Amino acid sequence: MTRDLQLSVKELNLSVREATSIFELPEELLKEILSRLPARSLLSCRCVCKRFNIVTRNSNFIASHVKRASTLNTTKFCSAFIFGSDLIGGLYEHILLKNTNDSVTFSYVRPSNPVSCNISIVGCCNGLFCAEVESPCVENGSHFLIWNPITRENLFVQKPVNSSRNPYIIALAFGFSHKINGYKLVRIVSYPKLGKSSVTVEVYKVTTGDWSVFDVTTLPCHEPDQVPPCFNDPLILFDISVPFFIRPLKQAFHWVTDSAGIEDRLSKAVVSFDIEEEQLNFFSWLDPFKIPLEEPVVIDTLNDSLSLIVPRTSFLNSSFDIWVMDDYGKQVSWTRRFTVERFDGIARPLGYWTDDLLIMTTYERYFFFYNLKTQELKNSPFLRCFTTFCDYVETLETVSREIADAGRAVQ
């Protein structure tokens, strides 16, 4: 048995007689043992025997392993894409960062599909990456790629048929829908129309391989009394500020957008997209008299709450406030939780790696880490241009519609 397999058996306190082989264990017990192994070890197990191969490829087993891996901090990474300007052709590098024993370690990820053209990461969910890939060899110039770096399985997704009109891309997102038991790729776009602007939402379902398209005519709001009347106009979506990484909260994606000024003060708002209902909503108005909004605002999640990182930048140093929505969906519940003062040099926060650790970048786009609780800095092991980051966990999740059958469920 491999070391990981031996540890898994030991965790379950199994007293297996010497005459009993692990190959003879009952099915459920074998699944329990294998589900505790890292994804890379499970790949090796597939080569051990036919039985292991069948068990680890079962859709229900994969779902169970994804659920377990996603809840263990020991299996979570920060996946970063950096631009290696010293490489021939200036290629992107994919690295995994891990925070252990107060130190940041890293490893390279061998690409499952070497890409020498422009790649823009849309998101990452349950071990699957989604990216927009620009290529002169593809009709309309680009397509989407969903892939698992561990299994090296990938899926190319063509844009909707009507996208040949080269729309203006407002926002992109990728996540899992419990309702359909599958993944969704979301595009919020605007197609040029004579005399007026409009907003269209396009949703691709991996389980069916189909795009659904609908126009946005209004932005419903759960708290209409807390919102100025002009803010339900979908045209405010054109001023969405796209974050470096968007992670869903309560089965919804959230963005900050500029909106009409109030008494000569710049005003912003939060809009959301419900993954299950495929509905764009006006989520929350940000009161400029309460939250200073002079600089670009970063939206993220902190301790399972919606959070705003609000910079206050001067010529010589940077400082910022961290606001948290204590009661999800309640505009009045925005509360300032942290303040970082007199940060030497021009730097800006990009989002959270963990609940305490911020990823920050310098003016030259080199990145480092800042601990909110200890107020300590951690330098990055890289001195190259940072492009994007996302949460990542190694799994055996598949992009194959034949394997991802209706019996599978990721909780």
pTM: 0.82
What pLDDT, on the 0 to 100 scale, is given for residue 373? Answer: 83
Residue 23 lies in a domain: yes
Q: Which two tokens stand for residue 115?
A: 């890409």
Return the pLDDT at 272.
94
Give which of 216, 218, 222 is closest to 232, Cα–Cα: 218
Whether residue 247 lies inside any domain: the answer is yes
Give the alpha-carbon dihedral of 234, 236, 239, 244, to 10 degrees: -60
Q: Fill in the DSSP letter of residue 239.
A: G
- CA–CA distance, 318 with 311 (Å, rounded to integer): 7
Q: What does the alpha-carbon distance between residue 212 and residue 89 come to, in Å, rounded to a whole number?
A: 37
What range does the domain containing 278 cover? 220-380
Give CB contacts under 8 A, 24+ apart, made by 371-379. Answer: 372/322, 372/338, 372/340, 375/340, 378/103, 378/104
The single residue listed with the structure tokens 């399972």 is: 304
Q: Which residue has the tokens 């990823």?
A: 359
Distance of CA 24 to the CA centre of its chain: 40
Chain CA centroid to CA 379, Å: 23
Rounded CA separation 298/250 (Å)? 18
Kindly tell me the burial class for residue 10, based on how many C-beta atoms sit within 10 Å of its own C-beta (0-12, 13-18, 19 or more).
exposed
Q: Copy the structure tokens of residue 90.
A: 């200036």
For residue 377, how many C-alpha atoms fall within 13 Å in the half-sphere facing its CB?
13
Q: What is the pLDDT of residue 3?
A: 57
Using CA atoms, how far apart are residues 173 and 203, in angstroms rounded to an integer? 10
Alpha carbon distance 227, 380 (integer Å): 42
Q: What per-residue confidence (pLDDT) applies to 79?
A: 73
pLDDT along the chain (411 residues), means of 10: 56 50 79 88 88 90 89 70 52 67 62 59 90 69 84 88 73 94 93 75 94 89 69 76 84 86 65 94 85 82 90 69 92 90 71 81 76 80 69 87 45 41
- Please say whether the beta carbons of 34 and 52 come within 8 A: yes
Q: Is residue 343 part of a domain?
A: yes
**406 found inside a domain:** no
Q: Token pair of 87, please?
A: 């490489």
Domain count, the chain: 2
E strand or H helix at 104: strand 103-108
Look at the block and give the residue holding tokens 């003062």.
341
CA–CA separation, 103 and 95 (whole Å): 16
**Alpha carbon 234 to chain centroid distance?**
24
Residue 376 lies in a domain: yes
* 161: three-class secondary structure by DSSP: helix
Contact yes or no for 87/94 (Cβ under 8 A) = no
Q: What is the pLDDT of residue 120?
A: 81
Are the C-beta atoms of residues 340 and 86 closer than 8 Å to each other? no
Bridge partner residues of 174 (DSSP): 185
**Measured between alpha carbons, how far is residue 40 from residues 174, 393, 395 in Å?**
24, 11, 8
User: In a 10 Å sphere around its CB, with 0-12 CB exposed, 13-18 middle and 19+ buried, how is residue 307 labelled?
Assistant: buried
Output the CA angle 408-409-410, nearest 5 degrees.
Answer: 130
Give me the residues paired with residue 262 across strands: 265
What is the pLDDT, as a whole number, of residue 105?
Answer: 67
Q: What is the DSSP string of 175-201?
A: EEETTTTEEEEEEEEE--BTTB--EEE
Q: Answer whether 83's CB lies under 8 Å from 90's CB.
A: yes
Q: What pLDDT is stored for residue 369 in this prediction?
A: 82
With respect to residue 330, please indicate whether it lies within any of the assigned structural domains. yes
CA–chain centroid gap for 326, Å, is 22
- Residue 49: its pLDDT value, please? 87
Q: Does 164 reside within a domain?
A: no
Whether residue 235 is contained in a domain is answered as yes
Q: What is the residue whose two structure tokens read 């306190």?
A: 13
